[in-house]
Structure 1
Amino acid sequence: MQNKDACTSIMVGKRASLDGTVFIARNEDRVKAIEPKRFLVKSAVKDRHETYVSPYNKVTVTLPESGMRYTSTPSLDQTAGPNEEDGINEANVAASFTESVYANDRVLAYDPYVKNGLAEDSLCTLVLPYIHSAREGVEYTGKLIEKFGSAEGNGMQFADADNIWYMEVVTGHQWVAVRIPDDCYAVTPNQVAIEDINFTDPDNYMWADGIQKFVEEHQLNPDHDRWNFRHIFGTSTQKDRHYNTPRTWFAQRYLSPKASQGQMPEDSEMPFIRKAEFKIANEDIQYVLKSHFNETPYDPMGDAPERKTYRAISLSRTAQSHILQVRDLNKYKTSIHWIELGVPAFNPYVPFFANADDTDESYRNVPEKMDLKSAFWLNEALAEVVESHYQEFIEKDEDYQKELNEWARRKIAQVDKETLNLEGQALIDYLTEQNHEVATHYNKRTTELFYELLTEGCELSRMSFKMDPNL
């Protein structure tokens, strides 16, 4: 089976971030330009006796009797599975499923994908409600892979308030995972990214049982003196150098301007994990996920001959983008699930408080066709208008995004202050109410800009004609 996603993921450790919180983030890119997404809170369950069957590939899993509440961003169309993709559960654990990755034909010859194994459509549903730490996310997923196999290659991010683990499942049963150091960040763009594995350090690395024997038995390691997962299981092709590596190059160029000097877009050996050269803010993560090789000849919105050479990070076919900010609940009362709908380059990230039990109707209810009452469709419409007159509208659009980021920081600080003495259901009710206020504010501001630009666009038609005033 082939993955249908083509995402870009970013992870930032707590000592690498500006405010000391942990971040995992991803653009969920799809084959189609339009794939409507919803934002939901899935309720906790108890005493359940159910079996999950994937509509996509019929993988069948007996569900645990109990599961925690969690946020998620499922697809409106459920015929290819729920595709819940990402979320934060009530144990304050975040996860993002998945970064599509591709193994080489050598390793797949000996451990092919399992047709009705685990795939992206099911992973969030089958894992996030049941894990209590980032490490447990890897362990739990590893056990599922051992039992059911994997239908495709997938990279998965798990985070709690102290740790980030990145896991890559690349064949039917082989996988590894690495803990991202606290003072580092990592970027991955649809390639096997994890490098050297230290099998004597289980605190920072995890792996499928028997993976060393598998590699040795089938003579799969091309290196003389190292065990590099990327070299053994990954690919290095012309497609990688035009579709994947340029995204790593651009992200590291921005986040590690000194260390990345000399790197080129088609370099195949750029490091997966980098030490942060400055403290990375939420806005920096947004910049990377919104980017399209800005200020380079490769920008598809520019006019240089090279503008179509490489696949950018922000795409018209991004279904949604998310930044999961996991905060210490001893200091704050909630983590934050930032959601961007539409095209990341043109639309804002909206902060929703994760410790809530409902979402706004404009995010919950998404019709199949364009309807500006729906946040998904409203943002798609704005993106289309901005791109249609990019040079004329981009400055106003960027000012609008900046304005909303400023508003978001003030709102979060206010809510953090108001929740200091709240607990239990009173806290959940308050945060749920605040999420409705956040949605209302963003929808109102987006609608205003949409109509303003739509009106201005009427003056920009190529069908216009200047009349001689003397006629």
Structure 2
Amino acid sequence: MCTTFIVGGKCSADGSFIMARSADSSALKAQLFLIHPAKDYAAGEMYRTKDHNGATDFVYPQPAHAMRYTSVPNWQTKLHGAVGFNEVGLAVTGTESIFARDDALAIDPYNKESGITEDDIIDIILPRAKTAKEGVELLGKIIETHGAGEGFGVGFCDDKEIWYLETGTGHQWFAQRIPDDVYFASGNQGRLRFYDPEAQDQLASPTLVEFAEKNGFYDPAKGPFDFAAAYTRNDERDRIYNDPRVWQIQKLFNPSVIQPVDDGREFAVFMKPERKLSVEDAKRVMRDHFDGSEHDPYSNGLNGKEPWRPVSVFRTYEAHVVQVRPWMPHAIGDVIYIAFGMADLSCFMPFYQGLESVPEHYQIGTDQADSASVYWKFRKLQTLVMTNYEVYAPLVKKAFAEQEQALSAKQAKLEEEYMALVKTDKEAATALLQKVNLEMLAETEALCEKLTNQVFTLATETIQKDIFFANRSKKD
């Protein structure tokens, strides 16, 4: 269960393309950061999900040459990559879990035996596709031929455009290029609406409209083809679990627009923000929990029974923001900011596309807490803070906000030096990028450990006051 936020280049503050998503499942699902080197395969070699204990028995031919790419997978399978860049600068974020209508699935069900799922998408698309549109077409063809093993939405971004694909039923799909002057938000729903087969900015399975019309999900006499109405679920579950997140995001960036929170299907698919948006705004979305409102489940005592599901939940195992700056080399212009664990209580750390290696503890972790993995460093702090959110959270959030500002300043300096150096010495520029990027990660980890000790000290002091059992002299 996730939340997706996408910003077109002409409505971002600096011309960046931006994609952000939270990945929500279990707080016990440690996340890794992996760099997959380029690799050649012999004819006939196959990618098999079952080799890694994935969700289905999906099988697909390996490419003759697989490009280098990064991924943020779960610990158990090293699959289920949440986000990544490949060597030519294509970024993919996947997936947003979405739900098809039951009567449509009864006719064309998900292929839960051998269909493609979020376990596989990053590891199939990034080694092969060079552009966002090519990635959409590849994934779409796989859905048509192999079937989707579940419902999902996937974002694709290169240095020219962003595309977003949503599944309908097991073999139907629809994708649209995100207009440059708008943003898009989704919270576990099919959000794409009207499809025109002649449109240059849309792609779909060849029988998308035919299937819906044949089975009574679309009547041409009633108007244009509406993908969401024809294929996706829209019931009381969406009213409290999904609609409020999209409503909240649109309220943040279009405060003058007044709309009922339970009007989800009628929310605009794309909106022009009332001001330019930035990476910081994307981070803000990933951290949102209806802050300060009556629906805030954290600030007024923990309330797990709050009916409105926020973007930032404790079981978020990572959130990320992808930034693509087309005017810069991919190595330095393409960045993934990753917050391990719950974004509200984490720090977004930059991982540049040109980063060549990461420390071993970014590549380990399990469903058991440990003292080594980077995931558990952040998760331990977050778990401790949630024992007294009102007291501890302000301390942690202030420190991480200041750290992100410091990181931004260091990034600006690094990028300026890299751009000057790469013109004459690419090897030295690469070494500089590696050195400074790893320093930024290490500094943020050290801050996390410092904060954990500070909060432990406060918690110790509080407990001692409550159960001191002092003698008369209050000494022993």
What is the Cα deviation at residue 146 of structure 1?
2.0
Unaligned 5+ residue runs, structure 1? 1-5
Does 2:328 align with 1:299? no
Residue of structure 1 in register with 2:141 after alignment? 143
In the alignment, is the contact (CA less than 8 A) between 1:97 and 1:120 conserved in 2?
A: yes
What is the Cα deviation at residue 106 of structure 1?
2.4
Q: Compared with structure 1, are the counterparts of its residues 198 and 468 closer, same or farther at alpha carbon in structure 2 (3 Å cutoff)?
A: farther
1:133-157 CA-to-partner distances (Å, cap 9, x unmatched) read 1111101111212221111111000
Q: Which residue identity lines up with residue 39 of structure 1 in the other structure? A: F
SS state at 2:10 partner: coil
Unaligned 5+ residue runs, structure 2? none
Q: Which residue identity lines up with residue 30 of structure 2 in the other structure? A: P
Q: Which residue identity lines up with residue 35 of structure 1 in the other structure? A: K
What is the Cα deviation at residue 434 of structure 1?
2.4
SS state at 1:316 partner: coil
1:194-247 CA-to-partner distances (Å, cap 9, x unmatched) read 01112221x211111121211222221167112111111111111111111111
Q: Distance in 2 between matches of 1:13 and 1:144?
A: 27
Residue of structure 1 in register with 2:467 after alignment? 464
Q: Distance in 2 between matches of 1:458 and 1:219?
A: 64
SS state at 1:338 partner: strand
SS state at 2:19 partner: strand
Give the number of aligned pairs. Answer: 461
Q: Distance in 2 between matches of 1:222 and 1:395?
A: 53
Residue of structure 2 in register with 1:130 after alignment? 128
Residue of structure 1 in register with 2:441 after alignment? 439
Does 2:260 align with 1:263? yes
Residue of structure 2 in register with 1:3 after alignment? none
Q: Which residue identity lines up with residue 137 of structure 1 in the other structure? A: G
In the alignment, is the contact (CA less than 8 A) between 2:151 and 2:167 conserved in 1?
A: yes
Give the alignment partner of residue 243 of structure 1, picking from 225, 241, 244: 241
Aligned counterparts, 1:311-460, within 5 A:
311-330=309-328, 333-334=331-332, 335-366=334-365, 369-420=368-419, 421-422=421-422, 424-460=426-462
Q: Distance in 1 between matches of 2:101 and 2:42?
A: 41
In the alignment, is the contact (CA less than 8 A) between 1:13 and 1:184 conserved in 2?
A: yes
In the alignment, is the contact (CA less than 8 A) between 2:76 and 2:366 conserved in 1?
A: no
In the alignment, is the contact (CA less than 8 A) between 1:250 and 1:293 conserved in 2?
A: yes
What is the Cα deviation at residue 336 of structure 1?
0.6
SS state at 2:275 partner: coil
What is the Cα deviation at residue 332 of structure 1?
6.7
Q: Distance in 1 between matches of 2:304 and 2:398?
A: 28
What is the Cα deviation at residue 95 of structure 1?
0.3
SS state at 2:281 partner: helix
Identity among equivalent pairs (%): 28
SS state at 2:153 partner: strand
Q: Compared with structure 1, are the counterparts of its residues 434 and 361 closer, same or farther at alpha carbon in structure 2 (3 Å cutoff)?
A: farther
Residue of structure 2 in register with 1:34 after alignment? 28
Aligned counterparts, 1:20-99, within 5 A:
20-30=15-25, 32-49=26-43, 50-55=45-50, 56-78=55-77, 82-99=79-96
Q: Which residue identity lines up with residue 39 of structure 2 in the other structure? A: V
1:391-436 CA-to-partner distances (Å, cap 9, x unmatched) read 1112211211211111121111111112113265544433222222
Does 2:212 align with 1:215? yes
In the alignment, is the contact (CA less than 8 A) between 1:297 and 1:306 conserved in 2?
A: no
In the alignment, is the contact (CA less than 8 A) between 1:352 and 1:438 conserved in 2?
A: no
What is the Cα deviation at residue 113 of structure 1?
1.2
In the alignment, is the contact (CA less than 8 A) between 2:331 and 2:355 conserved in 1?
A: no
In the alignment, is the contact (CA less than 8 A) between 2:29 and 2:366 conserved in 1?
A: no
RMSD of the alignment, in Å?
2.1
SS state at 2:294 partner: coil
Q: Distance in 1 between matches of 2:219 and 2:459?
A: 57
What is the Cα deviation at residue 463 of structure 1?
3.9
Q: Which residue identity lines up with residue 350 of structure 2 in the other structure? A: P
In the alignment, is the contact (CA less than 8 A) between 2:331 and 2:353 conserved in 1?
A: no
Q: Distance in 1 between matches of 2:269 and 2:305?
A: 26
Q: Compared with structure 1, are the counterparts of its residues 140 and 65 closer, same or farther at alpha carbon in structure 2 (3 Å cutoff)?
A: same
SS state at 2:242 partner: helix
Q: Distance in 1 between matches of 2:33 and 2:300?
A: 37
Q: Compared with structure 1, are the counterparts of its residues 67 and 331 closer, same or farther at alpha carbon in structure 2 (3 Å cutoff)?
A: closer
SS state at 1:221 partner: coil
> TM-score normalised to the size of structure 1?
0.93
What is the Cα deviation at residue 267 of structure 1?
3.8
1:355-412 CA-to-partner distances (Å, cap 9, x unmatched) read 1221233312335532333210000011112111211112211211211111121111
> TM-score normalised to the size of structure 2?
0.92
Q: Compared with structure 1, are the counterparts of its residues 139 and 468 closer, same or farther at alpha carbon in structure 2 (3 Å cutoff)?
A: same
1:241-294 CA-to-partner distances (Å, cap 9, x unmatched) read 1111111011111121113x2332564321221112111111111111111111
